[in-house]
Amino acid sequence: MAGMELGPGLRADIEVTVGRDDTAERVGSGDVPVLATPRLLALAEAATVRAVAGRLGEGRTSVGTRVELNHRAASPVGARVTVTAELTAVDGRRLSFAVSATDDRGTVVGDGIVERVVVDRARFLDGVAR
Question: Is 64 known to sit in a ligand binding site?
Answer: yes
> Has residue 87 been placed in a domain?
yes
What are the φ/ψ torsions at residue 109 (nearest 5 degrees)? Answer: -85, -35
pLDDT band at 105 (very low <50, low <70, confident <90, very high): very high
Question: Is 110 known to sit in a ligand binding site?
Answer: no
> Has residue 2 been placed in a domain?
no
Number of domains in the chain: 1
pLDDT at position 69: 98
CA distance 42 to 127: 24
Domain membership of residue 108 as a residue range: 13-129
> Has residue 1 been placed in a domain?
no
Give the CATH number for residue 95: 3.10.129.10
pLDDT in tens, 78-96: 999 999 999 999 999 999 9
Catalytic residues: 37, 45, 71
pLDDT in tens, 58-85: 999 999 999 999 999 999 999 999 999 9
